[in-house]
Amino acid sequence: MPNATHDTTVVTPLQSAPAQPDDWEQEVLPHLPQGWEQKASELGALRRSRQVRSPGDLLRAILASVLCVHSLRSLCRWSVLIGLADISEAAWRKHLQKAGPWLEWLLTELLAVRACTTPWIIGKGLGRILLLDGTHLRCLGKQGTIWRLPSAFDLLSGRLAAVLVTDTSGAENWKRFKVQAGDLLIRDRINGYQERLVWVVQQMAHLIVRCARLGPAAL
């Protein structure tokens, strides 16, 4: 049998080649609102970072942390494998924490709709018409935590005025929102909490709500 004069073993790559960014750049980034990159800097999400190259890379990592990976350690591995960034868990944690205001702006812009103010509303002198609602999400696990997502949608501007993430404490407390004088709050029910009616009146705001019971304290 002939003797080999060199190593003929085929070396298998330890990791796959970085994914091509074409799909991300063509399918996702063009649908983002105008000025989204500048807003990342203005709102403190990404300022002169040598670790994450662009707001697009940061957004991609944020979406991956929600949809694909289950820990910051896994996020570190994922970002290295695709050639996005090679940074520590602590560095990713700081980036994610600073991205909150920018993500809220993106959500507000993406969910914005065309609004048309009718003349009778203009004559009422209302500041905003806020549609208040909320939902909840249950985390994975035997005793998964329940997270609430109370939100306020400004009907006149066609944009979200606020969207919050809270735990089960405080329920859907209206005091979490920044209510202004002249606002009109619309809610489907009040759950019998009369102090919420009093609080809205104290803010010089208005309220339309279906109330199951109403006592003297709310009048």
Kindly report, residue by residue over 121-149, the tens digit of the pLDDT: 666 667 788 888 877 776 665 566 777 88
Q: What mean pLDDT is reported for the chain?
A: 78
pLDDT tens per residue, range 71-119:
899 999 999 999 898 999 999 999 999 999 999 899 888 887 766 666 6
The most confident of the ranges 54-58, 192-196, 215-219 is 54-58
pTM confidence score:
0.61
- Strand, helix or coil for residue 132: strand
- As a residue count, the chain comes to 219
pLDDT of 11-41, one tens digit each? 454 444 444 556 888 888 998 999 999 999 9
Dihedral in degrees, nearest 10, Cα atoms 195, 196, 200, 203 = 60
- What is the pLDDT, as a whole number, of residue 16? 44
Q: Which of 178, 160, 179, 149 is nearest to 113 (CA)?
A: 160
Q: For the segment 56-69, what is each residue's pLDDT rounded down to a tens digit? A: 999 999 999 888 88
At 137-189, the pLDDT tens digits run 766 655 667 778 888 888 888 888 888 877 766 666 777 888 888 899 888 76
Residue 204's SS3 state is: coil
- Give the count of beta carbons closer than 10 Å to the beta carbon of residue 152: 24
